[in-house]
């Protein structure tokens, strides 16, 4: 984040400027010559997709605050109008960088590799004729051209739909020009292959094809200019808390999402002035919300080109996660977990044991009940199919489905209805609190009683993201954990007063309270001359109370090292405030998504994994779960992973005192080290550089010297506080 935006409360960095800074780091990977060429294209597409959501949610919300007269916004208390203007300036500059990357770097380098994006001027007469035949056969029937006039008002344009605007002229005594609009259906691909044109791989954008044959759509008119455009609409969900049926309410609100106010217009740079003016007037947009594109207006659809080009040498080499548990008889998984917990690190280790665990539960005749939280799922979710199978076979299946998982609401609604049809019990969590925890609980008949098994994750039950996001999974039969997880499900389904969770951190019950207590405990340890440090990995850090506690710990001499992927409102390395705090962000092949929290605790480390970040919404407004890792060997693995990420000198960026980020460089005599590349080969290996700050759990001398009580030695009801 540029220091020019550090107005308001200078102790904090505004979340939206920090988010844009993260996306500049992603954009830097699109420009990074060390990445394979098509992977750079993918990073460029990711930035565009992220900006879509930024406008749909963050800019849309800020516009509403400005219209409502709200004076300040965010943790840094920035003036709303000034913040909006500053954000838009940053985004305009970022968009310009995106198109420079596309036009000046990626297109020439793709062409040199035999991948060409062709325009109408690159086609011969014969190729144009063949393309026209394809247009009339495959594209024309799906298009609906609309001439805007008193009898044909401007059509409703769907959120993020690619459209074409054209200026039409006709001769006659009442000559006038008018606007024509064509929406391009989402059923049509945005990139079309052009076979038979020399060697290599040749493609055209669909909007160029339609523009080329626009006369076929508006016969009898002169086409006086044509341009592609795209609008982004407010996509926030607005619901009242007294909704009688949350499922029906969310379904209706999602249906109406496409009707939100327009908050951005993307339009080709060479658009004729009268088309631009007509579109701006129709959508009621000021110039700062209009973004000119010297290229395709839907850069996020370049992901389709990434998928179409069959050149593996231009992509990252395929990665096969390490298999941990072979497929075997259903009882084998439960037998293993009775012996000890299983910790998995995705995507370096396979997600299959998680789906195998739920499948085994669905098919095991001794399993009586399965309880599951679902935040994001895939269209072909093996977890959901296993739950459907279990419900159909007569098992008690309870699913807590989060209907307000942004942009996944439709999928979740469909699965919820299917599970209900099979006889499963579906609940939708607590009104006003999103259910964000990642939990599965299995109740199995064993030895005349009931034994509970659980899965706790830092990521969603989505096999697709498990191949591309870094996350941890814990499979356990530890009663200290399963007892608390059972209580969480009762809390979610009964809407009763939350019980105590002595062995878990649960939002919003005790997550904030215990996080602050853990941080303050490190201050006490430092004052006593004992080992005191905090090392954590998360997606975002925003909460004011947590940041204040970290500042206080820093002033007390506690060494704090944070790997924060995206938004970070804390200012690191500021003299007198945070000089003992370092913040890094790792942006690589996989999206960093895992949450790990490590507290030195005087030499007897406390380590947690779970679903929650140190964000206000996670700590106070969502149901989250973090669990302690009691097994010394598993705790050691997590410490090793934290050391690996801190050693990164290839994909890591370090926050500077002004709030900006700079790439971490190796020492003059050191080797370059890529954390993700290392973990692909060594999922539980030690980094080549020793790191004494994140102590190994297996150091008995440190434990004996500290005198601190270990987590796993506490009675089940004794853990509130240190």
Both tokens of residue 371? 């309880």
Sign of CA dihedral 615, 619, 621, 626: positive
Distances (CA, A) of 367 to 333, 392, 411, 445: 13, 14, 27, 6
Q: Does 152 qualify as catalytic in the annotation?
A: no
- The DSSP result for 443-486, as a single string, is EEEETTEEEEEEEEESS-S-HHHHTTEEEEEEEE--HHHHHHHH
Bridge partners, residue 442, by sequence: 370, 453
Of 700, 693, 715, the residue nearest 581 (C-alpha): 693
Of 2, 89, 10, the residue nearest 551 (C-alpha): 10
d(CA 165, CA 282): 12
Q: Is 574 exposed, middle or buried (0-12, 13-18, 19+ CB in 10 A)?
A: middle
d(CA 372, CA 356): 14
Both tokens of residue 63? 């516009």
d(CA 508, CA 539): 18
Distances (CA, A) of 684 to 343, 344, 643: 10, 10, 11
d(CA 468, CA 464): 7
> 529 in the Ramachandran plot: left (φ > 0), alpha (ψ -120 to 50) or beta?
left
d(CA 25, CA 30): 9
The rounded radius of gyration (Å) of the Cα atoms in the chain is: 28
Both tokens of residue 164? 């074409």
The active-site residue, picked from 346, 436, 455, 653, is 436
- The DSSP result for 490-527, as a single string, is HHHHH-------TTSEEETTTHHHHHHHHHHHHHHHHH
C-beta separation of 340 from 631 below 8 A: yes
Bridge partners, residue 230, by sequence: 162, 266
Residues that are catalytic: 436
């Amino acid at each position: 984040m540029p220091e020019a935006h550090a107005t308001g409360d200078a102790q904090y960095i505004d979340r939206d400027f920090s988010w844009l800074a993260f996306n500049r780091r992603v954009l830097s990977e699109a420009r990074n010559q060390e990445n394979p060429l098509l992977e750079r294209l993918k990073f460029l597409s990711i930035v565009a997709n992220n900006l879509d959501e930024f406008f749909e949610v963050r800019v849309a919300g800020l516009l509403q605050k400005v219209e409502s007269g709200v004076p300040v916004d965010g943790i840094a208390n920035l003036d709303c109008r000034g913040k909006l203007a500053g954000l838009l300036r940053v985004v305009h500059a970022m968009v310009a960088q995106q198109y420079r990357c596309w036009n000046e770097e990626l297109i020439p380098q793709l062409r040199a590799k035999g991948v060409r994006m062709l325009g109408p001027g690159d086609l011969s007469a014969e190729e144009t004729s063949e393309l026209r035949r394809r247009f009339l056969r495959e594209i024309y029937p799906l298009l609906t051209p609309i001439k805007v006039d008193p009898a044909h008002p401007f059509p409703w344009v769907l959120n993020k739909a690619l459209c074409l605007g054209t200026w039409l002229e006709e001769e006659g005594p009442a000559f006038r020009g008018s606007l024509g609009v064509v929406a391009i259906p989402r059923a049509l691909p945005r990139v079309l292959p052009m076979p038979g044109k020399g060697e290599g791989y040749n493609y055209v954008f669909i909007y160029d094809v339609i523009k080329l044959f626009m006369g076929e759509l508006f016969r009898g008119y002169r086409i006086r200019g044509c341009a592609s455009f795209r609008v982004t609409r407010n996509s926030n969900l607005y619901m009242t808390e007294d909704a009688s049926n949350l499922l029906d309410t969310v379904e209706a609100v999602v249906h109406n999402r496409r009707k939100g106010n327009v908050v951005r217009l993307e339009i080709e740079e060479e658009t004729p002035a009268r088309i631009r003016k007509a579109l701006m007037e129709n959508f009621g947009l000021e110039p700062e919300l209009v973004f000119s594109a010297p290229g395709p207006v839907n850069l996020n659809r370049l992901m389709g080109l990434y998928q179409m080009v069959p050149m593996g040498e231009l992509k990252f080499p395929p990665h096969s996660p390490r298999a941990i548990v072979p497929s075997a008889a259903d009882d084998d998984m439960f037998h293993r977990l009775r012996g000890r917990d299983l910790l998995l690190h995705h995507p370096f280790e396979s997600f299959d044991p998680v789906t195998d665990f739920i499948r085994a539960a669905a098919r095991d005749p001794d399993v009586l009940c399965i309880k599951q939280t679902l935040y994001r799922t895939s269209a072909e979710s093996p977890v959901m199919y296993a739950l459907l199978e279990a419900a159909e076979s007569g098992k008690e299946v309870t699913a807590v489905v989060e209907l307000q998982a942004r942009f996944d609401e439709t999928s979740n609604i469909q699965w919820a209805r299917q599970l209900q049809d099979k006889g499963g019990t579906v609940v939708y969590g607590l009104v006003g609190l999103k259910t964000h925890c990642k939990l599965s609980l299995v109740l199995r008949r064993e030895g005349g009683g009931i034994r509970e098994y659980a899965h706790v994750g830092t990521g969603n039950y989505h096999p697709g993201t498990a191949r591309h996001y870094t996350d941890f999974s814990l499979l356990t039969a530890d009663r200290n954990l399963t007892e608390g997880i059972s209580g969480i499900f009762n809390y979610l389904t009964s809407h009763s007063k939350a019980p105590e969770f002595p062995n878990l951190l649960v939002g919003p019950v005790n997550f904030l309270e215990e996080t602050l207590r853990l941080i303050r405990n490190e201050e006490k340890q430092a004052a006593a001359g004992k080992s005191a440090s905090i090392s954590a990995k998360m997606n975002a850090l925003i909460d004011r109370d947590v940041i204040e506690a970290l500042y206080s710990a820093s002033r007390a001499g506690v060494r704090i090292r944070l790997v924060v992927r995206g938004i970070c409102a804390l200012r690191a390395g500021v003299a007198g405030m945070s000089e003992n705090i370092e913040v890094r962000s790792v942006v690589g092949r996989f999206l960093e998504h895992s949450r790990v929290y490590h507290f030195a605790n005087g030499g007897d480390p406390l380590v947690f994994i779970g679903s929650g970040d140190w964000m206000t919404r996670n700590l106070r407004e969502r149901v989250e779960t973090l669990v302690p890792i009691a097994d010394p060997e598993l705790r050691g693995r997590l410490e090793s992973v934290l050391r690996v990420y801190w050693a990164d000198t290839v994909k890591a960026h370090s926050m500077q005192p002004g709030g900006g980020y700079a790439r971490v460089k190796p020492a003059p005599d050191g080797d370059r080290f890529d954390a993700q590349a290392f973990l692909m080969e060594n999922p539980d290996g030690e980094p080549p550089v020793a790191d004494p700050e994140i102590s190994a759990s297996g150091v008995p001398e440190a434990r004996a010297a500290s005198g601190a009580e270990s987590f796993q030695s506490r009675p089940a009801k004794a853990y509130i506080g240190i």
